[in-house]
Amino acid sequence: MTRTIAVIGSGLIGRAWTVVFARAGCSVRLWDAVPEVRAGVMAQLAETCRISGDDPAALDHVTVCDTLEQALDGVEWVQENGPERLEVKRDLYARMDAIAAPGTILATSSSALVASSFSGDLAGRARILVAHPVNPPHVVPVVELCPSPDTDPDVMDRAEALMRDVAQVPVRMTREIDGFVLNRLQAVVLAEALSMIEEGIVTPQGLDDTICHGLGRRWTLMGPMATINLNAPGGVIDYLQRYGPTMARLADDAARGEAFTPEAAHIVAAAMPDPLQVPALSQQRDRRLAALSRHLTQDNQNTPTKDL
Amino acid sequence: MTRTIAVIGSGLIGRAWTVVFARAGCSVRLWDAVPEVRAGVMAQLAETCRISGDDPAALDHVTVCDTLEQALDGVEWVQENGPERLEVKRDLYARMDAIAAPGTILATSSSALVASSFSGDLAGRARILVAHPVNPPHVVPVVELCPSPDTDPDVMDRAEALMRDVAQVPVRMTREIDGFVLNRLQAVVLAEALSMIEEGIVTPQGLDDTICHGLGRRWTLMGPMATINLNAPGGVIDYLQRYGPTMARLADDAARGEAFTPEAAHIVAAAMPDPLQVPALSQQRDRRLAALSRHLTQDNQNTPTKDL
CATH number at residue A48: 3.40.50.720
- The partner residue sitting opposite A303, judged by closest CB among B266, B278, B288, is B288
Which residues in B lie closer than 8 A to residue A238 (C-beta atoms)? Answer: 275
| Same-domain status, A90 and A163 | yes
Comparing CB atoms, the residue among A192, A216, A255 nearest residue B216 is: A216
Answer whether residue A234 is part of any domain. Answer: yes
> What's the gap between Cα A179 and its chain centre?
12
User: Quick one: A79 and A224 in the same domain?
Assistant: no
Is residue A43 located within the same domain as residue A90? yes
CB-CB neighbours of A263 under 10 Å: 10
The answer to whether the beta carbons of residues A187 and B247 sit under 8 Å apart is yes
Predicted confidence at residue A30, as pLDDT, reads: 98
Residue B253 structural domain: 182-272
User: Does the pLDDT value for residue B220 go beyond 80?
Assistant: yes
Measured between alpha carbons, how far is residue A274 from residues A205, B235, B253, B279 in Å? Answer: 15, 8, 33, 46
Give residue A302's pLDDT: 76
* The predicted structure's pLDDT at residue B305: 54
Which A residues 16-55 touch B at CB under 8 Å? Answer: none
Measured in angstroms, the CA of A70 and the nearest CA of chain B are apart by 32
Q: Do residues B151 and B196 both lie within one domain?
A: no
CB pairs A-B closer than 8 Å: 416
User: Regarding predicted confidence, which is higher, A175 or B305?
Assistant: A175
CA atoms within 13 A on the CB side of A196: 32
The answer to whether A125 touches A117, Cβ cutoff 8 Å, is no
Residues of B in contact with A219 (CB under 8 A): 211-212, 215-216, 219-220
B235–A272: do the CB atoms touch at under 8 Å?
A: yes
74-133 in chain A: CB under 8 A from chain B? 112
Q: Is residue B204 part of a domain?
A: yes
Q: How many residues does chain A have?
A: 308
CB B147 within 8 A of CB B176: yes
**CA nearest to B208 within chain A:** A223
> Nearest residue of A to residue B282 by CA position?
A230
Q: Tell me, yes or no, whether B81 and B127 share the same domain.
A: yes
Using the predicted structure, report yes or no on whether residue A308 has a pLDDT greater than 50: no
* Mean pLDDT computed over every residue of chain A: 96
Residue A107 lies in a domain: yes
What is the Cα–Cα distance from B224 to A278, expressed in whole angstroms? Answer: 15
Contact criterion met (CB < 8 Å) for A236 and B308 = no
Q: What is the pLDDT of residue A76?
A: 98
Domain count of chain B?
A: 2
Whether the predicted pLDDT of A285 surpasses 60: yes
Asked whether residue A82 falls in the same domain as residue A211, the answer is no
pLDDT above 70: residue A96: yes
Closest chain B CA to residue A167: B213
Indicate the residue type of B201: I
Q: Compute the distance between CA of residue A20 and CA of residue B131 in angstroms, rounded to an integer.
A: 43
- Chain A CB within 8 Å of residue B295 CB: yes
B168 and B114 fall within a common domain: yes
B94 within a domain of the structure (yes/no): yes
Instruction: Tell me the C-alpha to C-alpha distance, in Å, between residue A126 and each of A90, A123, A131, A154.
Output: 15, 8, 14, 9
User: Does a structural domain hold residue B296?
Assistant: no
Asked, as a colleague might, if the bond just before A233 is cis with ω within 30 of 0, I would say no
- DSSP secondary structure string for all residues of A29-40: EEE-S-HHHHHH
Per the prediction, chain B carries an average pLDDT of 96
One-letter amino acid identity for A69? E
Predicted pLDDT at B304: 64
| pLDDT value at A212 more than 70 | yes
Q: What is the mean pLDDT of residues B170-190?
A: 97
Residues A158 and A235 in one domain: no
Binary contact (B214, A245; C-beta < 8 A): no
Q: Do B278 and A234 touch (CB under 8 A)?
A: yes
Residue B272 pLDDT exceeds 70:
yes
CATH of the domain at B191: 1.10.1040.10
Q: Are A195 and A156 part of one and the same domain?
A: no
Residue A192 has pLDDT above 90, yes or no: yes
Which chain B residue shows the shortest CA-CA distance from A278? Answer: B230
- How many whole angstroms separate alpha carbon B295 and alpha carbon B275? 30
Do A95 and A192 sit in the same domain of this protein? no
Is the CB of B140 less than 8 angstroms away from the CB of A252? no
Q: Taking 90 as the threshold, does the pLDDT of residue A300 lie above it?
A: no
State whether residue A143 is helix, strand or coil.
strand
pLDDT digits (tens, 9 = 90+) for A1-56: 689 999 999 999 999 999 999 999 999 999 999 999 999 999 999 999 999 999 99
Per-residue pLDDT of A66-94, as tens digits, reads 999 999 999 999 999 999 999 999 999 99
Q: Tell me, what's the pLDDT at B307?
A: 45
pLDDT at A276 over 60: yes
Amino acid at B135: N
Contacts of B210 (CB under 8 A, 6+ apart): A142, A144, A171, A181, A182, A185, A223, B202
DSSP A259: G
Q: Would you state the pLDDT for residue B2?
A: 86
pLDDT category, B302, cuts 50, 70, 90?
Answer: confident
Q: How far apart are CA A30 and CA A28, in angstroms?
A: 6
A10/A128 same-domain check: yes
Residues 130-149 of B with CB under 8 A from A: 134-135, 140-142, 144
Pairing mode of beta strands B62-64, B27-31:
parallel
In a mutational test of the A interface, the residue from B13, B52, B199, B247 whose CB has the highest number of chain A CBs within 10 Å is B247
What's the pLDDT score for residue B43?
A: 98
Chain B residues in contact with A231 by the CB 8 A cut-off are 135
Interchain proximity A295–B293, CB inside 8 Å: no
Instruction: Answer yes or no: is B208 within a domain.
Output: yes
User: CB–CB of A122/A148 below 8 Å?
Assistant: no
Please report which confidence band the pLDDT of residue A305 belongs to, taking 50, 70 and 90 as the band edges. Answer: low
Choose among B80, B66, B62: nearest CA to B8.
B80
Query: Does residue A191 have a pLDDT over 90?
Result: yes
Question: Would residue B168 count as lying in a domain?
Answer: yes
pLDDT at residue number A2? 86
Preferred mutation among A218, A285, A295 to probe B, highest tally of B CBs within 10 A: A218
Written in H, E and C, the secondary structure of chain B is: CCCEEEEECCCHHHHHHHHHHHHCCCEEEEECCCHHHHHHHHHHHHHHHHHHCCCHHHHHHEEECCCHHHHHCCCCEEEECCCCCHHHHHHHHHHHHHHCCCCCEEEECCCCCCCHHHHCCCCCHHHEEEEEECCCCCCCCEEEEEECCCCCHHHHHHHHHHHHHCCCEEEECCCCCCCCCHHHHHHHHHHHHHHHHHCCCCCHHHHHHHHHHHHHHHHHHHHHHHHHHCCCCCCHHHHHHHHHHHHHHHHHCCCCHHHCCHHHHHHHHHHCCCHHHHHHHHHHHHHHHHHHHHHHHHHHHCCCCCCC
Give, as one character, the DSSP assignment of residue A74: T
A228 touches chain B (CB under 8 A): yes
> What is the pLDDT, as a whole number, of residue B308?
40
A1: DSSP letter: -
B240 has pLDDT over 80 = yes
In a domain, B108, yes or no: yes
Strand (E) positions, chain A? 4-8, 27-31, 62-64, 77-80, 105-108, 128-133, 142-147, 169-172
Domain identity same for A279 and A198: no
User: A285 vs B224: CB contact, 8 Å cut-off?
Assistant: no
Backbone angles phi and psi of B253, in degrees to 5 = -90, 0
| pLDDT of res. B303 | 75
Specify burial of residue B173 (Cβ count, 10 A radius: 0-12, 13-18, 19+). buried
